[in-house]
Amino acid sequence: MTENNNSETSNAKPSSFKAHTPISRRSATAIVKTSLSTMSPSQTTVSKSVMPIIRDRDSGSTDINNPDDQSTNKGNPGNSKHSNSTHSVNQRKTGQILRIHHLNCGTMCPACQKLINGYGSWKKPARLVCHCLLLETTLGLILVDCGFGSRDVQNPRGRLGDTFLKLARPTLDISETALYQIQALGYAPEAVSHIIPTHLDLDHAGGLSDFPHAKVHVLEAELLQIVQPDMRDLLRFRSVQFEHQPQWVVHSLSQSQAQQPWFGFDAIAPITALANDLLLVPLIGHTKGHVGVAVRQGKKWLLHCGDAYFHHSQISAQPRMPPGLKFFEKLVQTYAKPRIANLARLQQLALHHGDEVSLFCAHDPQELMRYTAS
Ligand SMILES: [Zn+2]
């Protein structure tokens, strides 16, 4: 489903790959080192210092006034599909979000609907989604989270592992991948210029490899889990999903000059040209560098909360968390105290600013339906 961003609402490769081999600290470091060494000149700054301050000018966020910037023009929604659009990239000094799509990029059906969804049958499987955003902008397409990718669908055991497959029971339907849905909208994969994953768990990062040319924005703490994993990180993150060497753009809240307050939360503008419309909102706890992603939609904001919470009732005045989901949430948390504190802040945000900010998490099918029901 699609929403036009100027407040009008409308309805909206694979190649051969290796089987998963156990990740080692050395190989994970090598993967990212190699990735950094192959970055474009504008990103070389990144490779000199593994975790630098990334300013927009350095980080590769697109200079829309630079006609040589191929990432700006290639497959740009303003230039390709909507060729009669007045939003010509070379005429604008700032970027603009033209349209927002809410996509499900992966359905999961773990056991027991009642325990996980909080309604229905004890015997029927639950249903969870991977709620992603696709932004059509004057800078090209931007994905917020990318769910499972085509390579996950083609090689589930190698990419996702047996344990996850048995517990989460993803349907792995190729038509749910961001790649498929973007192509169905008439765009080439190369039209995706930026990806902002809320974090790098396998159900949020699997689609990265379908867009190897896109810049991937993460907090420093999130990427460190891949570059310098501890034992828990080694078990949690799937190194095979990063073997294509993503073009990481690393952001650090403490050092960022693009930092700005947002409804009392810290926030970072990852792309200068969209600084008024697109923000990283650190929500640490589920992982070490987990973020929410705020997207302006007309006079309101959307806040993609990733896995900062799992069930819509958690941000209501009277939370009624299904017990199975509650157990899972605690099981997979990295830092308990900040996670719980951030959840409380999100509850307050929903309570006091619900008319200005629309919150949703990654996996709640009822929340997704709010945006996609016609
Ligand atoms: Zn998740």
Q: Ligand 1 centroid to 7 CA: how many Å?
A: 29
CA count, 13 A, side-chain hemisphere, 116:
20
The pairing of strands 192-196 and 140-144 is parallel
Q: Ligand 1 centroid to 365 CA: how many Å?
A: 13
Is domain 22-50+71-84+96-372 annotated with CATH 1.20.1050.10? no
Q: Ligand 1 centroid to 181 CA: how many Å?
A: 20
Tell me the pLDDT tens digit for each residue of 147-170: 999 999 999 999 999 999 999 999
Q: Ligand 1 centroid to 306 CA: how many Å?
A: 7
Residue 321 has pLDDT above 70, yes or no: yes
**C-alpha R_g of the chain:** 19
Higher pLDDT, 60 or 236: 236
11-19, Cβ contacts within 8 angstroms, sequence gap of 24 or more: 11/374, 12/99, 12/101, 12/102, 12/372, 13/150, 13/179, 13/189, 13/210, 14/150, 14/151, 14/154, 17/151, 17/155, 17/158, 17/240, 17/243, 18/158, 18/240, 18/243, 19/155, 19/157, 19/158
Tell me the pLDDT tens digit for each residue of 43-84: 222 222 223 223 333 332 322 223 233 333 334 454 434 333
Residue 194 has pLDDT above 90, yes or no: yes
Using CA atoms, how far apart are residues 305 and 282, in angstroms rounded to an integer? 10
Q: How many CB atoms lie within 10 A of CB 331?
A: 7
Using CA atoms, how far apart are residues 15 and 154, in angstroms rounded to an integer? 10
The DSSP call for residue 43 is G
Tell me the pLDDT tens digit for each residue of 94-121: 899 999 999 999 999 999 999 999 999 9
In this prediction, residues 218-237 reach a mean pLDDT of 93
Higher pLDDT, 177 or 44: 177
What is 89-138 written as a DSSP string?
GGG-SS--EEEEEEEE---B--S-HHHHHSSS-SSSPP-B--EEEEEEEB
Residue among 326, 254, 249 nearest 71 (CA): 249
Q: Ligand 1 centroid to 300 CA: how many Å?
A: 25
Residue boundaries of the structural domains of the chain:
22-50+71-84+96-372
Q: Ligand 1 centroid to 363 CA: how many Å?
A: 7
Return the C-alpha torsion angle 95, 98, 100, 105, nearest 10.
-70
Q: For ligand 1, a single-atom ion, which residues have Cβ within 5 Å?
A: 203, 307
- Cβ contact 343:351 at 8 Å: no
In this prediction, residues 235-264 reach a mean pLDDT of 86
- What is the distance of C-alpha 365 from the center of its chain? 17
Q: Ligand 1 centroid to 201 CA: how many Å?
A: 6
Q: Ligand 1 centroid to 97 CA: how many Å?
A: 25
Q: pLDDT averaged over the chain?
A: 80
Q: Ligand 1 centroid to 205 CA: how many Å?
A: 9
Using CA atoms, how far apart are residues 232 and 113, in angstroms rounded to an integer? 29
Tell me the pLDDT tens digit for each residue of 204-219: 999 999 999 999 999 9
Q: Ligand 1 centroid to 327 CA: how many Å?
A: 14
